[in-house]
Amino acid sequence: MAISFSLEGKAALVTGANTGIGQAIAVALAEAGADVALAGRSEPTETLALIAATGRKAVNIKADLSSIEPVGRVIDEAVAGLGKVDILVNNAGIIRRDDLLQFSEEDWDAVMDTNLKTLFFLSQAAAKGMVERGGGKIVNIASLLTFQGGIRVPSYAAAKSGVGGVTKAMANELAAKGVQVNAIAPGYISTNNTAALQGDETRNRQILERIPTGRWGDPKDIAGAAVFLASPASDYVTGHVLAVDGGWLAR
């Protein structure tokens, strides 16, 4: 049997795909053959055009994922547009930076709600259809802070560590039902999310000194791992957090 990385005939839902890592993943899934629904609060004009250029179908679902309120509607609209959801990529995420001693409850809740609570309940909603159809793939975007504590980002470290835990929890319950749940832990990737770090000369130098590959990652560096984890080639991979980090964790 030939190993297949093809997503021909599959329907994917990607959150936060107007920019950065989500955009690169959505376009790569389309290039691999999937139709793609995009869920987010900003208009994903560029991503829609890039998917259209691949010849695949793209559906836009407007949703603010800072609470779980739109979760049911997002799945309903994805199914209405594409017929089903075979692949869910939980990419939408935010970061709040502040000194530990003054870190606010608002900055704690905002990051936990968007990065962890919505990720779980959207996965739960998508998994119901996947289980009914006997298969599916959930790919969560974790972080190096799934493994490390970071500096001045306690809610982000907590949420992304939680993403690692809930990935394994979901994988354990869904494996026998044909659904694989994995996560990707991106290293330092050049996006809006890391613009402040890249702009800080000292931190930028410290970061680059530690990355064996010697450069910031590009969003496209994450897309190959996402296609693998969405494809039949990864059918025996579940509950795994795959670091795509230029070697950062190997140091």
Interface residues with ligand NAP (CB under 6 A) are: 16, 18-22, 40-42, 64-66, 91-94, 114, 141, 143, 186, 188-189, 191-194
Written as one letter, the residue type at 240 is H
Q: Give the residue with the Cβ less far from ligand NAP, 41 or 177.
A: 41
Q: Give the residue with the Cβ less far from ligand NAP, 86 or 245.
A: 245
Q: How far is the CB of 128 from ligand NAP (least distance, A)?
A: 21
Q: How far is the CB of 113 from ligand NAP (least distance, A)?
A: 8
Cβ-proximal residues to 32 (8 Å cutoff; 6+ apart), any chain = 5, 6, 7, 8, 227, 230, 231
Q: Is 188 helix (H, G, I), strand (E, B) or coil?
A: coil
Select which of 15, 39, 145, 156 is catalytic.
156
Q: Give the residue with the Cβ less far from ligand NAP, 83 or 214.
A: 214
For 165, other C-beta atoms within 10 Å of its C-beta total 12
Contact 167, 241 (CB under 8 A): yes
For 88, other C-beta atoms within 10 Å of its C-beta total 31
Q: How far is the CB of 65 from ligand NAP (least distance, A)?
A: 4
236 carries an active-site annotation: no
Q: How far is the CB of 151 from ligand NAP (least distance, A)?
A: 14
Q: Identify each DSSP E strand in the chain by its residue range.
A: 11-15, 35-40, 58-62, 87-90, 136-141, 179-186, 241-244
Q: Give the residue with the Cβ less far from ligand NAP, 22 or 33.
A: 22
Point out the residues that are catalytic. Answer: 156
